[in-house]
Amino acid sequence: MMSGDNSENTLQKILNECIASKNELKTYIAASEAKLLSEIQSLKSKIVNLEKEYSNLKFQLEKIDRNSNKKVIIIFGLEKPSEVTPAFICEEIRRLLQVELKESDFSDLYQLGKKNNCPIKVEFISYFKKKDVILNARKLKRSQISIANDLTPQQSEEIRKLKSFLKKIRDRTSRKAYIRGNKIMVGTKEYTLGQLECSEGITLSDTPHLAKEEINAWNEDSSSEEEISDSKSEDAVFVKNNKIAPQKSSETLKINKLPKCANPITHKQVTAGTTVTKKIKQRKDSAVN
pLDDT in tens, 149-200: 888 888 888 888 888 888 888 888 888 888 887 888 888 888 888 888 887 4
Report the pLDDT value the prediction gives residue 112, as an integer from 0 to 100.
86
Is residue 83 assigned to a domain?
yes
pLDDT by residue (tens digit) across 209-226? 333 333 333 333 333 334
| 82 and 143 together in one domain | yes
- Residue 248 is assigned to a structural domain of this protein: no
Is the alpha carbon torsion for 17, 19, 25, 31 positive or negative? negative
Of 124 and 253, more confident: 124
**Given pLDDT bands bounded at 50, 70 and 90, which one contains residue 3?**
low
Query: CATH number for the domain including 143?
Result: 3.30.70.330
Q: Are residues 128 and 168 in the same domain?
A: no
Whose CA is closest to 140, among 239, 241, 226, 220? 239
The Cα 263–Cα 253 span in angstroms is: 28
Which position has the higher pLDDT, 106 or 175? 106
Question: Of the candidates 67, 85, 103, which is a domain's last residue?
Answer: 67
The structural domain count of the chain equals 3
**Model confidence pTM above 0.85:** no
Q: Which has more confidence, 229 or 126?
A: 126
| Residue 289 in domain | no
- Of 100, 119, 149, the residue at which a domain comes to its end is 149
Q: Which domain holds residue 62?
A: 10-67
Average pLDDT score, the chain? 73
Question: Same domain for 207 and 170?
Answer: yes
Establish if 261 belongs to a structural domain.
no
Same domain, 130 and 205: no
What separation in angstroms does the CA of 136 have from each of 3, 108, 115, 129, 179? 112, 21, 26, 11, 17
| Arithmetic mean of pLDDT, 268-279 | 46
> Residue 283, class by beta-carbon neighbours within 10 Å (0-12 exposed, 13-18 middle, 19+ buried)?
exposed
